[in-house]
Structure 1
Amino acid sequence: MFRVLDFVFALLGLVCGFPVLLIIFIIGLFDTGSPIFRQERVGRNKKPFVLVKFRTMSVDTASVASHLASTSSITPLGGFLRKTKLDELPQLWNVLKGEMSLVGPRPGLFNQTELTQARDAKGVFAVRPGITGLAQISDIDMSTPKLLAETDAKMIQSLSLKNYFVYIIKTVTGSGSGDRVKG
């Protein structure tokens, strides 16, 4: 049931949001010269997939978790995209392809071994990673791997149709701060 909802909402989001995606892409060309950010992430069953987002940091920023990156790496457009969560829109493509869900644990990087181990112990990799979830609306990010894995496991165990929509609505209306970047 969730896969069908993911597919329908991702398709609608990409079609209806195309003008916004195009405008952000064009502005991104002027901001960084490379508006799309691609990064290999840990997917369902720990299989790699390439996550796509709008670039929010300068092109030469090291490939580390957001909480380990410096705020000086964030571009002017990137700050706006992060605040409005518009940087996440291209991930609808990952959802459409079945690599992600709208709701699920945020996909980590393979070099985040502590997070990967904590999630593995809690069975978090049994589901598709998501754009948003309980941790994101609760201001829990990847800087606290054990708490994040516990929160992800709790979300997975209690995921219902109601919670699915609650997480999406709370994200769209601005609950949570997203992935923090160090000062």
Structure 2
Amino acid sequence: MQELDLEYSSGVEVSACKNYNRSNMYYVAKRSIDIIVSIIGIVMLSPLMLIISIYIKMSSEGNAIFSHIRLGYRGRYIKVYKFRTMVQNAQEVLKNMTPSEKKEFEENFKLENDPRITKVGRFLRKTSLDELPQFFNVLIGNMTLVGPRPIVEAELVKYGEHGRKFLSVKPGVTGLWQVSGRSDTSYEERVMLDMNYIDNRSLWMDLKILFMTFIVVMKKDGAM
């Protein structure tokens, strides 16, 4: 997809993102793990994904799989796949937010009590099952298993001077934010967690985060 080449008020020129140094061995190993794990995940979880798709279709109108435009490596626009957790007219509902909801959404790009989320959607988000289709993103190669969380274009300004570094890596299905409180963290803390990962990432760190993600999902900590 097209690459973002806009300049933000923070002074970040997205198209000028550079790749923060890591050995070629790291990238080859990371991509190999992404391919192997995503293929295994898709094959083993396909029956579950089929069942979830049926429940979504039965509970509300609309497609079972939802794709949302996010920023990927070097600011490229990518489609991130998830199970649909919101009503079909989510944008219309968003326009009717109360002043307090609007303020909350502008600050965090999410709502604690989101009226757009369906009953099935709340369960999927609570268990993180809504993110299973992102295995296809990982297999395609526009996402990785572990990395900064994918964001919409409007969120980049929140990263300020860190925007270029943020876009120097692929977004991940899971990362430090997801295993460090998730919804219980402020946006500023999320930014710092993303920067911490980029500065210190390694295969050992990735494996540790994957293990911690499994624990967090089982405990349902910090999910919405």
- Note whether the superposition's TM-score is higher than 0.5: yes
Cα distance change of structure 1 residues 118 and 61 upon mapping to structure 2, 3 Å threshold: farther
Q: How does 1:10-29 map to 2 (within 5 A)?
A: 10-29=38-57
Following superposition, the deviation at residue 66 of structure 1 comes to 5.4
**2:77 maps to which residue?**
48
Q: 1:26 & 1:11 partners in 2: Cα distance?
A: 22
- Segments of structure 2 that go 5 or more residues without pairing to the other structure are 1-28, 95-104
**2:192 maps to which residue?**
150
- Segments of structure 1 that go 5 or more residues without pairing to the other structure are none
Kindly provide the CA deviation profile for residues 26-83 of structure 1, in whole angstroms up to 9, marking residues without a partner as x.
1111122321111100111111000010011112113877524742222111111111
Secondary structure in structure 2 of the residue aligned to 1:137:
coil
Aligned counterpart for 1:77 among listed residues 120, 142, 160? 120
**1:31 maps to which residue?**
59
- Check the 8 A contact 2:157/2:163 in 1, yes or no: no
Bigger Rg over Cα: 2
Identity of aligned residues (%): 32
Following superposition, the deviation at residue 125 of structure 1 comes to 0.9
- Check the 8 A contact 2:156/2:163 in 1, yes or no: no
**1:130 maps to which residue?**
172
Following superposition, the deviation at residue 145 of structure 1 comes to 3.7
**2:158 maps to which residue?**
115
Q: 1:118 & 1:161 partners in 2: Cα distance?
A: 26
- Check the 8 A contact 1:42/1:107 in 2, yes or no: yes
- Name the count of aligned residue pairs: 178
Following superposition, the deviation at residue 166 of structure 1 comes to 1.8
Q: 1:152 & 1:54 partners in 2: Cα distance?
A: 24
Q: Does 1:96 align with 2:125?
A: no
- Check the 8 A contact 1:108/1:115 in 2, yes or no: no
Cα distance change of structure 1 residues 17 and 66 upon mapping to structure 2, 3 Å threshold: farther
TM-score by length of 1: 0.87
